[in-house]
A and B are shown apart, each in its own frame.
Chain A
Amino acid sequence: MNAIPIVTAVDLRRRFGEGEAAVDALDGVSLELPQGAFTAVMGPSGSGKSTLMHILAGLDQPTSGSVVVDGVELANLDDKKLTQLRRDKIGFIFQSFNLLPVLTAEENIVLPLRIAGAKVDREWLETLIETVGLGARRTHHPSELSGGQQQRVAVARALISKPAVVFADEPTGNLDSQSSAEVLGLLRRSVDELGQTVVMVTHDAHAAAVADRILVLADGQIVHDGDAGSADDVLDLMRTVA
């Protein structure tokens, strides 16, 4: 694997609430995500996975620690700059598909570019639509698509601006196994064929097995960092760490 880090986090801490009721969602997390890596983040519920993703993506600020995405230190950015960074360097895939119901599949895909006022690279769009297998459905509205199809649109939307890194928070959480496999395959191919950097939170051992590397969080700390093996290996791993 290539060794240039796209995302670097140092000693991230995130505390919610104050005093007695304070919760340390992240309690000293440091990590480096090299370019072209597919990383899975696992861990029990409440272990801080979503919090980590939000902070890495500039949606939330850490209580302390620093995050650098594609050479940009997030701590010093104001809302405007952060918005710009999210627009240009980050793709985000949500658990619930979060498409705009008023736009067609294709319009949803190019939405980030239109928001940025950037030109749509037609060739890239065609490649994406073909890759996600939505050729026949490009003019459909989200309400006319299945959950898996909607999530594939969301994946394409995350990839359209060729971001430095794509964060996916339980992208298969709402999908059946067939649709999950499609979406995971898609993310895998984006890494293999397009050199995309992807970070994905998942509870599913099969999903995690698709990744190159697995981070396991527990109580806001990284308790395991290693290569992903087969699904069974991942299951074993989860049993030991959690």
Chain B
Amino acid sequence: MVALSLRGLVSRKLRTALTALAIVLGVGFVAGTYMLTDSMNKAFDNVFATATEKIDVTVTPKEQFDNAGTVAMSSEVLRRVQAVPGVEEAVGSISSSGGGDDSAVIYTKDGSEPLVRGGAPMLVVNDPSERLSPLDYVEGHAPRAPDEAALTKGTADKGGFAIGDTVRISGDGPAEAFRVVGIAKFGEEDTLAGSALAVLQTEVVQRLLDMRGEYTSIDAVAEGGVTPEQLSRRVAAELPAQLYNVRTGEQEARRQAADLQDQLGFLRTFLLAFAGVALFVGAFLIVNTYSITVAQRMREFALLRMIGASRRQVLRAVLGEALVVGLAASVVGLLFGMVIAPALRGLFTLFDAELPSEGLIVETRTIVVSLLIGTVVTVVAAVGPALRATRVPPIAALQDVASMTRGKTARWRTPVAVVIALIGVAMMCGGLFGGGSAGQAAGLIGGGGAIVFVGVGLLASHLVRPLALLVGLPLERLRGVSGRLARENATRQPRRTASTSAALMIGVALVAFIAIFAAGLKASVDDAVDRGVAADLVVQTETFQPVPSSAARALAEVPGVETVSPLRFASGKVPGQSGTLSIAGVDPATAADVIQVDWVEGDQGLLRTFGGSQVALSDRYADEHDLSVGSTFAVGTPTGREVRLEVVGIYDDNAGLLGNMTLSNELLARDFDATRDAVVLATTAAGESPDAVQSVADETISAAYPTVEVLTKQGFKDEQAGQIDQLLGLVYVLLSLSVIVSLFGIVNTLVLSIHERTRELGMLRAIGTSRAQVRRIVRYESVITALIGAVLGVVLGAIFAVLVTIPLQDEGFTTSIPVVTLIVLLVLAVIAGVIAAILPARRAAKLDVLRALAYE
């Protein structure tokens, strides 16, 4: 029996190859994801180990609540650590953060733009002690003067810097020039996990970051005879536990690795989701392919049964084939993963997110998971068709094959399909409105979506005829008999066409869903800006860093600029409540001119007197927590303090600009460690054209602050839309793999159908149909199939998008249908159909007429 399965494989080369290809792509995606994230992990693990290698104990500030961010430590803490008995040496390290507040920018050699974007951070650090330093200077030395800098080798190579060159670096201020005096390696590595890293003198880093006398970690070595653990306990006893973490070097490396695991876990899940979709689509293709071949081989199976093969043996013959194909394809897929991993990395780089990684790590887990998943998907997908093969009665060996290949639709099929689809919808609704955790909700929505696809895929056989009529009639009008025959062929076996197009439907539905969602997001941003921003100009940085306060001051000097007002953001936590509060900070003197608050209680005038411990709440937060004007409540801050606030106003935050609550910038600076401006808004003087002022202001500011951009309101909206589009592009590329897999499905179905219709094609050629016409018939059938999938996909995608955005609507989400994008999607489906038809059409046209007629 196994020999028979194998013989079958060889004799159906193309079909087997296409089936295998679907699995190869899916498994390759899975394997590539693991390889990429494992190598990233490795890169960071090395770094963490190197960084903490010489350190016995390290003290870092403790994050007060989730997403609070950490607060730098004063030199007082350093002195206390130095005084601990058993400490031989303790130094204060300072490092800019990878992003957000306290981050820095290292510029390209010409100073015009940041050296790296997205993903990998740019770090500016000190190197306070030769003894504790993880850096090995391969050329030159550590900075010894305020205007000297050292770069890691990776950074120098990337930017083309050599000793003696000038490198520009900025923190909270304009870019400053430093002379490169040293090039260092980070242990064995050329740089720290793909980042750009510059070393400056301690005071210089502190000044750049406006963190005078502060440190981000304090590192100590123990005297002889004192173990790191002992020292760690002694240091911990000296410092308030709620503000500081005290760890040994090893513990610190492990913790950093664990933190990173969490972040990489997100990336991995994100990528695996797309791999999962590709495999899911592949499963559709496999079900379909096996269904068709089993139908075509019914007589063969009947013959086997007639000569005494048991049902079990027939089942084993089909599943055996699937097992061999699945396993072989998974092995190839695993190897393909080695191509996918760097490709994914390249893709992220293309979308401005560089991922650091180290070699290509293939863990045993990757091998096991890849082989298992590919094989299991193939075999499971083949079970249904295999069972059908076992049900063929032996007598069928004597009957006409054609009569058997006509799909009989079982009576249970439709109701079961409806029930499946409804279960899927119910799961999605459960995820959306059930109020579970984010993870549960995502699982329910994703799983529900998959089940809906299966249900609709089963139902689609009923929709094939009307849809084929819809998309086929214009073809027929235009192209006559070729169009007519194509349409008839497409509807001849509705189930086959349905499951072929259903595979494409999945990819298209997801693309449509994302497109609609993104359009809604853009519309919502536009809406929020229109409603909430009264300013004419918006100032931000390209690198998601705060706007230097000196840049804001410089803006105020630009002719035509009237009011300049900064906005800050911070987070807080009400003791006893779950979740982190989003807090906006405004400057009371100027805020009323630049933001338009939709007051429920209070008015714009309130902003001008705002200050002290006064707080304005969003109506939703106030309702949820029974607060009203006059109430007071306490909020915990990232610095570990608690402040009492008094409610003075309530606003409707549909624009989503101000978050849960709004405080004065002064209070944020004092108690929330929010000293830097996230965005600066400005108005132009009456009679000035905002566009003209913007172009002058942008030029002036950019000269000193290359990453800072001054935008008009429209420019800001466009910029936001651009960012959404960027992410959208990445998601499209990742989804395209699934679409490619579904195109293989179309190719496969067409090839198999053409094989079935060999005789008909021979006859058509004999009575004068040209090769071009035969090709056209196949091509149109392909286009019709693809269009059915695309139409179903667009409709499903729209339904999903509307469903998913319902809960977001109270939060100001504006639903918007991107009609043009959806039409483009349909046009692309037509093109995809044409491409998928190339090979089958050529096969059909090449058919030898006489042989085709003799074919039995």
Residues of A within 8 A of B764 (CB): 100, 115
B686 at the interface (CB under 8 A from A): no
- Report whether A59 and B849 are in contact in the complex, using a CB–CB cutoff of 8 Å: yes
Residues of A within 8 A of B850 (CB): 54, 59-60
- Report whether B767 and A115 are in contact in the complex, using a CB–CB cutoff of 8 Å: yes
Number of A residues whose C-beta is below 8 Å from B?
27
- Report whether B766 and A92 are in contact in the complex, using a CB–CB cutoff of 8 Å: yes
Residues of A within 8 A of B771 (CB): 79-80, 83
Q: Which residue of B lies closest to A161 (CB)?
A: B768
- Contact partner of B766 (CB less than 8 A), chosen from A59, A79, A84, A100, is A59
- Contact partner of B763 (CB less than 8 A), chosen from A57, A94, A102, A114, is A94
Given contacts A59-B850, A83-B770, A117-B480, is CB(A100)–CB(B765) below 8 Å? Answer: no
Closest Cβ of chain B: how far from A155's Cβ, in Å? 13
Give the contacts of A70-95 with B (CB-CB under 8 A). Answer: 79-80, 83-84, 86-88, 90-92, 94
- Report whether A115 and B489 are in contact in the complex, using a CB–CB cutoff of 8 Å: no
Q: Which residue of A lies closest to B770 (CB)?
A: A83
B773 at the interface (CB under 8 A from A): yes
A157 at the interface (CB under 8 A from B): yes
Q: Which residue of A lies closest to B491 (CB)?
A: A102
A223 at the interface (CB under 8 A from B): no
Interface string of B79-117 (1 = CB under 8 A from A): 000000000000000000000000000000000000000
B332 at the interface (CB under 8 A from A): no
Closest Cβ of chain A: how far from B503's Cβ, in Å? 24
- Report whether A111 and B767 are in contact in the complex, using a CB–CB cutoff of 8 Å: yes
B853 at the interface (CB under 8 A from A): yes
B488 at the interface (CB under 8 A from A): yes
Closest Cβ of chain B: how far from A16's Cβ, in Å? 11
Residues of B within 8 A of A60 (CB): 850
- Report whether B488 and A86 are in contact in the complex, using a CB–CB cutoff of 8 Å: no
Residues of A within 8 A of B131 (CB): none
Give the contacts of A113-136 with B (CB-CB under 8 A). Answer: 114-117
A112 at the interface (CB under 8 A from B): yes
Given contacts A60-B850, A94-B763, is CB(A83)–CB(B488) below 8 Å? Answer: no
Interface string of B746-789 (1 = CB under 8 A from A): 00000000000001100111111111010000000000000000
Closest Cβ of chain A: how far from B482's Cβ, in Å? 8
Closest Cβ of chain B: how far from A143's Cβ, in Å? 9
Residues of B within 8 A of A54 (CB): 850
Range of interface residues on B (Cβ < 8 Å): 20 to 34
B485 at the interface (CB under 8 A from A): yes
A98 at the interface (CB under 8 A from B): yes
Residues of A within 8 A of B480 (CB): 114, 117
- Report whether B767 and A102 are in contact in the complex, using a CB–CB cutoff of 8 Å: no
- Contact partner of B768 (CB less than 8 A), chosen from A94, A98, A103, A115, is A115
Docked Cα-Cα span, A137 to B770, in Å, equals 29
Given contacts A83-B768, A83-B770, A112-B768, is CB(A102)–CB(B489) below 8 Å? Answer: yes
Give the contacts of B150-187 with A (CB-CB under 8 A). Answer: none
Closest Cβ of chain B: how far from A30's Cβ, in Å? 23
Residues of B within 8 A of A115 (CB): 481, 764, 767-769, 773
Residues of A within 8 A of B759 (CB): 98
Residues of A within 8 A of B849 (CB): 59
Closest Cβ of chain A: how far from B464's Cβ, in Å? 14
Interface string of B825-853 (1 = CB under 8 A from A): 00000000000000000000000011001
Give the contacts of B256-304 with A (CB-CB under 8 A). Answer: none
B492 at the interface (CB under 8 A from A): yes
- Report whether A112 and B767 are in contact in the complex, using a CB–CB cutoff of 8 Å: yes
Residues of B within 8 A of A90 (CB): 768
Main secondary structure of the interface of B (DSSP, over half): helix
Docked Cα-Cα span, A102 to B768, in Å, equals 18
Given contacts A100-B760, A114-B480, A115-B481, is CB(A87)–CB(B489) below 8 Å? Answer: no
Closest Cβ of chain B: how far from A115's Cβ, in Å? 5
Docked Cα-Cα span, A21 to B773, in Å, equals 37
Closest Cβ of chain B: how far from A75's Cβ, in Å? 18
Docked Cα-Cα span, A80 to B770, in Å, equals 7
Please indicate which of the listed interface residues B481, B760, B765 has the most CB atoms of chain A within 10 Å of its own CB.
Answer: B481
Residues of B within 8 A of A112 (CB): 767-768
Q: Which residue of B lies closest to A116 (CB)?
A: B768
Residues of B within 8 A of A117 (CB): 480
Closest Cβ of chain B: how far from A39's Cβ, in Å? 20
- Report whether B492 and A111 are in contact in the complex, using a CB–CB cutoff of 8 Å: no
Closest Cβ of chain A: how far from B468's Cβ, in Å? 12
- Contact partner of A83 (CB less than 8 A), chosen from B492, B760, B765, B853, is B765
Residues of B within 8 A of A102 (CB): 485, 488-489, 492
Closest Cβ of chain B: how far from A122's Cβ, in Å? 17
Residues of A within 8 A of B853 (CB): 94, 98
Docked Cα-Cα span, A63 to B770, in Å, equals 24
Docked Cα-Cα span, A80 to B773, in Å, equals 11
Closest Cβ of chain A: how far from B853's Cβ, in Å? 7
Docked Cα-Cα span, A94 to B767, in Å, equals 11
Interface string of B462-497 (1 = CB under 8 A from A): 000000000000000000110011001100100000
Residues of A within 8 A of B773 (CB): 115
Closest Cβ of chain B: how far from A113's Cβ, in Å? 9
Docked Cα-Cα span, A20 to B248, in Å, equals 89
Closest Cβ of chain A: how far from B795's Cβ, in Å? 27
Docked Cα-Cα span, A92 to B769, in Å, equals 13
Q: Which residue of A lies closest to B760 (CB)?
A: A100
Given contacts A54-B850, A59-B850, A98-B759, is CB(A88)–CB(B485) below 8 Å? Answer: no
Residues of B within 8 A of A98 (CB): 759-760, 763, 853
Docked Cα-Cα span, A19 to B818, in Å, equals 69
Q: Which residue of B lies closest to A169 (CB)?
A: B853
Q: Which residue of B lies closest to A100 (CB)?
A: B760
Q: Which residue of B lies closest to A86 (CB)?
A: B768
Closest Cβ of chain A: how far from B792's Cβ, in Å? 23
Closest Cβ of chain A: how far from B420's Cβ, in Å? 30
Q: Which residue of A lies closest to B845 (CB)?
A: A79
Closest Cβ of chain B: how far from A106's Cβ, in Å? 13
Docked Cα-Cα span, A116 to B849, in Å, equals 18
Please indicate which of the listed interface residues B481, B484, B767 has the most CB atoms of chain A within 10 Å of its own CB.
Answer: B767
- Report whether B481 and A114 are in contact in the complex, using a CB–CB cutoff of 8 Å: yes
Q: Which residue of A lies closest to B772 (CB)?
A: A80
- Report whether B767 and A157 are in contact in the complex, using a CB–CB cutoff of 8 Å: yes
Q: Which residue of A lies closest to B481 (CB)?
A: A114
Residues of B within 8 A of A94 (CB): 763, 766, 853
Please indicate which of the listed interface residues B488, B765, B766, B773 has the most CB atoms of chain A within 10 Å of its own CB.
Answer: B766
- Report whether B767 and A87 are in contact in the complex, using a CB–CB cutoff of 8 Å: yes
4 extra interchain contacts, Cβ-Cβ under 8 A, other than A94-B766, A98-B760, A117-B480?
A: A59-B849, A84-B768, A90-B768, A103-B485
Closest 5 CB pairs of A and B: A87-B768, A102-B488, A114-B481, A98-B763, A86-B768
Interface residues in chain B, defined as those with a beta carbon under 8 Å from any beta carbon in chain A: 480-481, 484-485, 488-489, 492, 759-760, 763-771, 773, 849-850, 853
What are 26 A-B contacts defined by CB distance under 8 Å? A57-B766, A59-B766, A59-B849, A59-B850, A83-B769, A83-B771, A84-B770, A86-B766, A86-B767, A87-B767, A91-B767, A92-B767, A94-B763, A94-B766, A100-B488, A100-B760, A100-B763, A101-B760, A102-B485, A114-B480, A114-B484, A115-B481, A115-B764, A115-B768, A116-B768, A157-B767
